[in-house]
Amino acid sequence: MGIQQDIRLLEMEDLLAYFKAKGAPKFRAKQVFEWLWKKGAHSFAEMTNLSKKLREQLEEDFCIRPISLDMEQRSNDGTIKNRFRLHDGHLIESVLIPVPSQNRFTVCISSQVGCSLSCSFCATGKMKRLRNLDAPEIYDQVLLVNRQCEQTYGHPITNVVYMGMGEPLLAYRPVLKSIELLTAPWALDMAPRRLTISTAGISKMIKRLADDGIRSNLALSLHAADDSKRNEIMPINEQNNLETLIEALQYFYEQTKDSKLTFEYIAFKDFNDSIEDAQKLLALCQQLPKVKVNIIEYNPVEGVTLSKAAAEKIDRFSEYLNRRGVPCTVRRSRGKDIDAACGQLANK
């Protein structure tokens, strides 16, 4: 017998053709799909409304390669970091960030094992990219953390951010497929607006997102508002400078209209936290019809000389933008005590 195919990599048409060839009724394909995606079955034995014979046949012809929880860490602030093991032994991390007071429960998910972009301030960037996740592996993170959220907080996930390990736009196909699955009525049925793709800035892929009619939100990890500083901390900027990125974002906005655009901006001490930096950031924001800024506290990473900007400088920076009509929020770090904060995911 050859290597079995993961049934979750099949489209509905493939399943319909499979059941037709077996002489089984069409509706079986719908039942199996519902088990796989809505109910999150990780074995054929769970599919109890299928006959034993049919389940055995599926078992013979296909496999299911789910991810499994390898380790869980709980922070003092309620954040939960999960390390998941993939079928080939690789490890990835996802983080549940609860804000019960706002009825907001966000899962930060990974799209690659490691990352190839080597941003100087990021722990994941110090790992090699080993492979892209496939769409079911991305989906499983949301599914399993959703269960965890319901058990812990009595509330389902409200938001999904592709901000974990890896660059989502370099795992383009599986990321888009996972969005299709997360938003499908026969799966988790989430509103596209509840999902945010975060990118370090790959201009041509941002345009491709627009051309593919993506309805989710987009966040750009900006972290510096001029090319020389951005080159210093984010090598990707050398091929995707700010001019080409702004042009790509303008195109994205024209095509998608009501998708939200966000600039993520980690404030580093004496590097990008001055009012002059805020002025440069304002000039970038003014080139777009609508954009908001999230200022993020830096979380220390071993071997990195950059450090966190002072709270008063961050507040002054934020106030400068808000007063000039750019919505700016300061995001206080969550999960620092378990290395679950922004830029710290590295499978320690």
Other Cβ atoms less than 10 A from the Cβ of 73: the count is: 17
Listing DSSP states for 263-293 in one string gives EEEEEBTTTS-SHHHHHHHHHHHTTSSS-EE
CA proximity to 229, closest of 144, 149, 121, 157: 121
115 a catalytic residue:
no
| CA 283 to chain CA mean position, Å | 28
| β-bridge mates for residue 131, sequence order | 113
User: From the candidates 119, 149, 285, 342, which is the catalytic residue?
Assistant: 342
Distances (CA, A) of 191 to 35, 54, 180, 291: 21, 34, 11, 21
Give the DSSP H/E element, type plus range, for residue 92: strand 91-99
Q: Is residue 97 a contact partner of residue 79, using CB atoms and an 8 Å limit? A: yes
Place of tokens 């510096």: 224
User: From the candidates 11, 93, 276, 285, which is the catalytic residue?
Assistant: 93
Q: Is residue 261 a contact partner of residue 218, using CB atoms and an 8 Å limit? A: yes
Nearest-angstrom CA–CA distance, 67 and 319: 43
Nearest-angstrom CA–CA distance, 161 and 195: 6
State the alpha helices, DSSP H only, in the chain: 12-21, 27-33, 52-61, 135-153, 172-183, 203-211, 227-233, 242-256, 275-285, 311-323
Nearest-angstrom CA–CA distance, 211 and 171: 17
DSSP state of 148: H
Count how many Cα atoms sit within 13 Å of the Cα of residue 83 in the half-sphere of its side chain. Answer: 15
Listing DSSP states for 64-84 in one string gives ----EEEEEEE-TTS-EEEEE
342 a catalytic residue:
yes
Which amino acids are annotated catalytic? Answer: 93, 342
